């Protein structure tokens, strides 16, 4: 596989997400053959430092000040940022050492492909911000959290690790985030980057939905994307499914999220984030995840959450629920284990396929098909028993 990948790179061929994931896994296994405990510790500590410097540079807009096609001296960079030369140099050196930036001579620095990703308001940059701002604090708070609550798995809406880390353990994560529209906007932008890592379109064939729509014209909702954020998944499904009438599709999320999905702040200006005609053509519905499903009788309910009990009363006899989830193998893939750790900070968790069968059964549903993708990602098709 390494030989094939090298040939592809020389030809300028881009790897598919599956090929990329497989190549990364092979390279990691090769490194593990020679890495010892001390190497792992040093890599982990270097990672701490690297993400902190990148987050500082995003906040200070340092990456934007470095010419995309050119070089700049540390002295000039410090001047345009308004910082000490010694501080900027030291922080840049960490990123040079880890391959994020490139140094030219003893006093000048330039971009690499890695650092260019942080020069604009883009999904990858938002993903790093979300990781640092939303997940790093609760992870660092875990020793104190378990001292306070005991060695028990955190579940439920209250007393989450995240709320505890922010000093308000008695409120839910949803209520906590509702106070911070800019943080929600960043998380929505980050989701589109995660969609590329864990694609939920392309795993399931929606062509039969378009065929059913042609056979049965009317106003019955075809696809309801529950918790769909800014519509990135619904947009991808539409683009992958010729003949799917977007006007009969629904995008649902919290009212605040739907508003942010329509417009998001960018340096004080308001700009549309759902300008694509596909998503604007869908029906946008604000909802409360802890109340009944507001759209009844849809052909498909697509969700990245596993609250299957919420769909039973809304489903018609031929309705299906598609759950896009990471289904953990035993032992899980690294990415699945990481996501399980992050979800644990907000009271959630990843599950094995046996766990999902149990959840479906308790909701009066059965899993009728499973479509598998890379990195333990699947779409489970559920129907009423």
Contacts of 111 by beta carbon, 8 Å cutoff, 6+ apart:
63, 66, 67, 68, 101, 102, 119
- Which member of 111, 159, 232, 302 is catalytic? 302
Enter the tokens of residue 318: 């031929």
Task: State yes or no: is 302 an active-site residue.
Answer: yes
Distance, CA of 16 to CA of 33 (rounded, Å): 26
Residue 236's contacts (CB-CB under 8 Å, 6 or more residues apart) are 195, 199, 200, 201, 202
Least Cα distance to 250 among 195, 314, 205 occurs for 314
Count Cβ atoms below 10 Å from residue 213 Cβ, excluding itself.
Answer: 20
Omega of the bond prior to 296 within 30 degrees of 0, cis? no
Largest CA distance in the chain: 70
In whole angstroms, what is the distance from residue 352 CA to residue 337 CA? 11
Classify 90 as helix, strand or coil: helix
Catalytic residue IDs: 302
């Amino acid at each position: 596989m390494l030989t094939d990948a090298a040939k592809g790179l020389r030809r300028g061929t881009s790897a598919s997400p599956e090929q990329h994931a497989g190549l990364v896994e092979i390279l990691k296994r090769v490194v593990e053959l020679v890495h010892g405990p001390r190497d792992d510790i040093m890599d982990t500590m270097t990672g701490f430092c690297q993400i902190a410097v990148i987050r500082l540079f995003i906040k200070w807009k340092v990456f934007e000040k470095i010419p995309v096609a050119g070089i700049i001296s540390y002295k000039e960079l410090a001047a345009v940022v308004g910082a000490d030369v010694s501080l900027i140099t030291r922080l840049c050196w960490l990123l040079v050492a880890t391959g994020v930036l490139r140094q030219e001579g003893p006093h000048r620095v330039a971009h690499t492909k890695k650092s260019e990703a942080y020069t604009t308001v883009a999904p990858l940059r938002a993903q790093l911000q979300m990781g640092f701002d939303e997940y790093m604090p609760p992870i660092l708070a875990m020793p104190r959290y378990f001292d306070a609550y005991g060695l028990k798995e955190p579940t439920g809406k209250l007393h989450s690790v995240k709320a505890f880390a922010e000093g308000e353990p008695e409120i839910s994560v949803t209520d906590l985030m509702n106070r911070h529209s800019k943080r929600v906007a960043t998380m929505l932008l980050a989701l589109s980057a995660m969609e590329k890592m864990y694609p939920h379109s392309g795993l399931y064939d929606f062509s039969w939905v378009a065929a059913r729509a042609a056979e049965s014209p009317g106003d019955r909702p075809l696809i309801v994307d529950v918790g769909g954020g800014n519509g990135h998944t619904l947009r991808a499904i539409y683009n992958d499914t010729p003949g799917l009438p977007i006007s009969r599709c629904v995008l649902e999320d919290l009212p605040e999220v739907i508003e942010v999905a329509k417009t998001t702040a960018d340096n004080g200006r308001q700009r549309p984030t759902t300008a694509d005609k596909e998503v604007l053509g869908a029906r946008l519905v604000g909802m409360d995840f802890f109340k009944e499903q507001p759209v009844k009788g849809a052909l498909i309910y697509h969700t990245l959450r596993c609250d299957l009990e919420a769909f039973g009363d809304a489903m018609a006899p031929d309705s299906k629920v598609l759950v896009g989830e990471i289904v953990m193998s035993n032992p899980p893939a690294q990415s699945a284990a990481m996501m399980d750790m992050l979800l644990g900070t907000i009271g959630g968790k990843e599950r094995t396929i046996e766990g999902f069968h149990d959840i479906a059964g308790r909701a009066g549903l059965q899993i009728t098909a499973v479509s598998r993708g890379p990195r333990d990602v699947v779409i489970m098709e559920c129907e009423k028993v």
